[in-house]
Homo-oligomer: A and B are copies of this chain.
Amino acid sequence: MFGDQGGRNDLVRRHNLALVLRRVHVAPATRSELTRVSGLNRSTIGALVAELADRGLVVEDEAAGAGQVGRPSPLVRPSDAPIAVAVNPELDAVTVATVRLGGRVLAKERVPLDAPPTPEEAVTVAVAAARRLLARSGGARLVGAGVAVPGVVRRVDGLVRLAPHLGWRDVPIAAMVGEALGVQAGAANDAGLGAQAEWVFGAGRGVEDLVYVHGGASGVGGGIVSGGALVGGATGHAGELGHVGIRRGGRADTIGVRGTLESEVRRSALLEVLGLERADPDELESALIADRSRPVRDEVRRQIDALAVALASVINLLNPSRIVLGGFLSALTAATPGRLADVVATRALPLPDEPVDIRRAELGSDLLLIGAAELPFTRLFADPLPA
Residues of A within 8 A of B (CB): 1-9, 11-12, 15-16, 19, 37-40, 44, 152, 161-162, 208-209, 224, 226-229, 231-248, 255-257, 259, 309-310, 312-314, 316-321, 346-351, 354
Contact = CB atoms under 8 A, between A and B. Distances in A.
6 tightest A-B contacts by CB? Answer: A233-B319, A234-B321, A6-B40, A6-B38, A1-B1, A238-B319
A231 B240 contact: no
A3 B208 CA distance: 11
Given A245-B246, A349-B237, A44 B313 contact: no
Given A12-B12, A229-B227, A245-B347, A235 B6 contact: no
Contacts of A248: 246-248
User: Could you say how many copies of this chain the assembly holds?
Assistant: 2
Given A226-B233, A245-B245, A314-B317, 13 more contacts: A1-B7, A4-B37, A6-B16, A6-B39, A6-B40, A162-B350, A224-B318, A226-B232, A234-B354, A235-B354, A239-B317, A240-B317, A245-B312
Contact of A245 (B228, B237, B309): B309
**Looking at A248, A310, A319, which has the most chain B CB atoms within 10 Å of its CB?**
A319
A313 B314 CA distance: 9
A179 to B, nearest CB: 24
Contacts of A233: 209, 226, 318-321
A16 B7 contact: yes
Contact of A351 (B161, B348, B350): B161
A331 B237 CA distance: 30
Given A1-B2, A233-B226, A245-B312, A351 B7 contact: no
A310 B245 contact: yes
A277 B4 CA distance: 48
Contacts of A347: 243, 245, 257
Nearest to A350: B255
A256 B244 CA distance: 21
8 contacts: A6-B38, A8-B40, A9-B9, A11-B12, A162-B350, A227-B229, A243-B349, A248-B248
Given A6-B16, A16-B6, A245-B309, A316 B349 contact: no
Contacts of A9: 9, 12
A319 B236 contact: yes
Contact of A7 (B4, B12, B224): B12
